Amino acid sequence: MSVFDERPVRPALLRGWRKRCPNCGAGPMLRGYLKVRESCPVCGEELHHQRADDGPAYLTILIVGHLMAPLILYFFTKYRPDPYVLASVFSVGTVALSLFLLPRLKGMLVALQWAKRMHGFGHVAPGE
């Protein structure tokens, strides 16, 4: 196998969404909530090359903002709730959705880097 052979992007992204190793799909990618493991405990794929940095947070803000803003507008114009009730309900929803998406988007970003051989993921693994 060549270093430049393509890795399948779609399965890697789906594995990243499930917070699994982009190579084997069996081992957990994250240790704790957002910390990426040094390597996969199942297949040994090195994951320390990842450079997700602030990307998952930006994507989370983008997605949550684009989902919640129209919902807030709709519920405010349709039902006219008290502003404190609206703020309370949507604050909880925004935080919950953000906490749900953040580790999954981080997994997807690391998986994308792995699939595209970015940031040191370009070496040929023993099983490839």
Report pLDDT digits (tens) over 12-30: 999 999 999 999 999 999 9
pLDDT reported for residue 4: 63
Q: Is 84 contained in some domain?
A: yes
Q: Is 2 contained in some domain?
A: no
Q: Is 123 contained in some domain?
A: no
Q: Would the pTM of this model clear 0.85, i.e. be above it?
A: yes
Segments forming the whole domain that contains residue 46: 9-115
Q: Is 33 contained in some domain?
A: yes
Q: Is 50 contained in some domain?
A: yes
Per the structure, the count of domains in the chain is 1
Dihedral, CA atoms, 61, 67, 70, 74, nearest 10 degrees?
A: -130
Q: For the chain, which ranges sit under pLDDT 70?
A: 1-4, 123-128
Q: Is 3 contained in some domain?
A: no
Give the contacts of 16 (CB within 8 A, at least 6 positions apart): 22, 29, 104, 107, 108, 109, 110, 111, 112
pLDDT reported for residue 120: 84
Q: Is 122 contained in some domain?
A: no
pLDDT reported for residue 10: 97
Rounded distance, CA 59 to CA 83, Å? 27
pLDDT reported for residue 116: 92
Contact 9, 108 (CB under 8 A): no
Q: Is 125 contained in some domain?
A: no
